Amino acid sequence: MTTPTIEIGWARLALASALIMVAIALSAWQRLGLAKSLAIGAIRALVQLTLIGYVLVWLFNTNRWYLVLGVLLLMVLTATLAATARSPGGRPARRRLRPICFVSILLGSSLTIAYVGAVVIDVTPWYNPRYLIPLFGMIVGNAMNGAALAAGRLQSEMASGRAQIEAYLALGASPQQASAEPARRATIAAMIPTINSLAVVGVVSLPGMMTGQILAGSAPTLAVRYQIVVVFMLAAATALTATGIVQWYRRSFFTSAAQLLPPIQL
């Protein structure tokens, strides 16, 4: 017998706000200076999640492929802006990085969701928003983190290894050869959180999708199978995005004459 889902009304949601108040109180007590950021973040989360709930209801009822694709593109654009907002190097570096980040996240996420939707889950129709939007959201979120880590680490590796890179160039190496080690380290850094997550999933943590399905009444075995698909697709999307970012972004550190840009432009 399936246990009915416990409803969470607005009154219970108000009680849940006490949890964020604990974090705010601890910040104030320890003088961390995070109380305002936590409060603003909580309000933004409340507003954004409430709005997206109504938007999803509308999309599910409308069921138009072009609206679904529009939402997916908006998600990629938002992820791109978030991933590059705190990248080092100032505005010139961010201007170089944003189109690279957008295309890398778009390709990595699209290839992953296309395979999952068409081959693994066999979603019908292919644009079914009930499956496509939640899965794509998880993929883009992880791709965004991978892109930010890869770009930031590549930036620091290129700056700290400047002397070695210039030595390689002076000895006749190509920019690709000279930047091979920074690129390798940046890709590894972007993949480490995903590898750590794969190692402890189901033992240390019960992921959100699996937990949500169980709370909604699905059989735990079915929820586990869905979660296995999710962790595999997130690993693929992160790897594709991080590799694309690193391989494309590192070319922007060199001039057309195969010279490393001055430090002020990196």
Cα separation values, 105 from 11, 158, 236, Å: 39, 22, 12
Residues of the chain with pLDDT under 50: 1
Cβ-Cβ contacts under 8 Å for 67 (sequence gap 6 or more) = 59
The pLDDT value given to residue 205: 63
The pLDDT value given to residue 102: 95
- CB 225, CB 15: distance < 8 Å: no
C-alpha 17, offset from chain centre:
26
The pLDDT value given to residue 197: 86
The pLDDT value given to residue 207: 66
The pLDDT value given to residue 6: 74
DSSP lists the bridge partners of residue 254 as 260
- CB 236, CB 141: distance < 8 Å: no
Cβ-Cβ contacts under 8 Å for 266 (sequence gap 6 or more) = 89, 93, 155, 158, 159, 253
Cβ-Cβ contacts under 8 Å for 248 (sequence gap 6 or more) = 100, 103, 104
Distance CA 265, CA 261 (A): 6
